[in-house]
Amino acid sequence: MPQRPLPLNAIHAFIVTARHLNLTRAASELCITQGAVSRKIAALEAWLGFSLFDRHARGLHLTPQGASLLPALQSGYQQMHDAAQQASRQNAVIRLKAPTCAMRWLVPKLVALEKARPELHVSLTTTVDHSSQLDNFDAAILYGSSPRHSVLLFEEALTPVMALSLMPGEPDAVPSLAEMTFLHPTADSRDWQLWLQAQQQLLVMKRNQHFSTMDLAISAAIQGFGVTVADVTLIAEDLAMRRLVAPFAGSVKTGAVYSLIRRPPSVSPPLLDELVAWLCEQP
C-alpha cells in the first residue's frame, strides 16, 4: 500500500501554533488568517486520527498525544528546512508579489540589485489585488494601509504631472489646468479632489479619462494625453529624465502607504533579508 503523503503545510502550522499556543499570534507569523490556521490543524488531526490541542477559554493546550509528537516533528521539519535551504543557495530565487502601480519604482531597484548580486534572482508577479496575504510568495509589496509587522517603504504623496509639451504658460497657476484633459488613476476623481482641496482651489474638470491603475495614468500623461496626479516617489525617474514635468511645488499625502510583508526568518529563502534591505533604502 502506498504511503499517505505528509501534510507538510499543516505540520508547519502545528509547530508554529504549539510554540505560541495562540491562534492569533500563529496566524500573524504564518501570514494567514486564524481560520486558515485552524483548518490546517484540523486537517493534520484528521490525518493523525487524534486531537493535538485542547481548546480552552484562555487559549490552547497541547494534548498528551500532541506534546509527545511535537519534538519529533520539530526536529524533522528543521532538518528538511535546513537541507532545502542549503540546496537552494546555488540558485536563490525569491518570489515577490507587487501591485502594478508600484512597477515604476520597483523595477529599476530590482535591475540594480541583480546587477550588484547576480546570484540573487527575484521572480516577480504583478497584481491589482491589494490583499495582505502572502499566499505562496516570500514577500509582497502592499498599497493602502500598513498591516501589522509590515515594513514601511514610502508614503503616497500626489502632485500633478504632464508631458513637457503640455506645460502651461503660467506653470504655477492652477486655473491654467482647466482646459486640459484630466487623467484619473482611479474610477472616481478622489485623488484630484484631494490635491485641489489642499491648494484651496475649486476647478471644473471638463474632460476626463479614468484608468484602473496609477501606472496607466502616468503612461498616458507621458504620451501627452493629459495631466494626472501621481505619487512623487513613483515618478522620480520620469521627472529626472524629463519624460514628465511637475508644474506645482509641493504635494499632498493621501494617507496610503507602500509597505512590505515577508516570511519570517525561520522559513525564509536565502538572501531575502538582502532584498528587503535593498527595497527599504531611501527611495
pLDDT tier at 18, thresholds 50, 70, 90: very high
Query: Looking up cell 497584481, which residue turns up?
Result: 127
Cα 246 to Cα 172: distance, rounded to the nearest angstrom: 10
Cα 256 to Cα 244: distance, rounded to the nearest angstrom: 23
Helix (H, G, I), strand (E, B) or coil at 90: coil
Is residue 90 over pLDDT 70?
Answer: no
Please list, residue by residue across 167-188, b when 16 or more beta carbons sit within 10 angstroms of its beta carbon and e when fewer do: ebeeeeebeebeebbbbbbeee
Alpha helices in 89-124 (DSSP H): 103-116
pLDDT tier at 88, thresholds 50, 70, 90: low
Supply the DSSP symbol for 6. Answer: P
Residues 6+ apart with CB under 8 A from 272: 94, 138, 139, 262, 263
Q: Which is more confident, 119 or 219? A: 219
Residues 30-71: tens digit of each pLDDT: 889 999 999 999 999 999 999 999 988 778 999 999 999 999
**pLDDT for the residue numbered 178:** 87
pLDDT tier at 19, thresholds 50, 70, 90: very high
**pLDDT for the residue numbered 185:** 92
**pLDDT for the residue numbered 172:** 67
**pLDDT for the residue numbered 87:** 65
**pLDDT for the residue numbered 220:** 96
**pLDDT for the residue numbered 13:** 92
Q: What are the φ and ψ backbone dihedral angles of 209, each rounded to 5 degrees?
A: -135, 130
Cα 172 to Cα 47: distance, rounded to the nearest angstrom: 68
The percentage of residues in the chain with a pLDDT greater than 70, rounded to a whole number, is 94
pLDDT tier at 283, thresholds 50, 70, 90: low
Tell me the sheet residues that pair with 117. Answer: none
User: Considering the chain, what is the average pLDDT of its residues?
Assistant: 88
Cα separations in angstroms, 229 against 45, 251, 253, 266, 279? 53, 10, 12, 41, 24
Residues 244-267: tens digit of each pLDDT: 999 988 899 999 999 999 988 877
Cα 158 to Cα 177: distance, rounded to the nearest angstrom: 16
Residues 187-227: tens digit of each pLDDT: 899 999 999 999 888 888 899 999 988 999 999 999 999 99
Cα 194 to Cα 184: distance, rounded to the nearest angstrom: 12
Does residue 123 contact residue 96 with C-beta atoms inside 8 Å? yes
Q: What is the mean pLDDT of residues 68-82?
A: 89
**pLDDT for the residue numbered 107:** 93
Grid cell listed for 77 = 521539519
Does residue 221 contact residue 228 with C-beta atoms inside 8 Å? yes
Q: What are the φ and ψ backbone dihedral angles of 245, each rounded to 5 degrees?
A: -125, 150
**pLDDT for the residue numbered 128:** 80
Grid cell listed for 245 = 514635468
CA neighbor of 17 nearest in space, from 25, 8, 6, 5 = 25
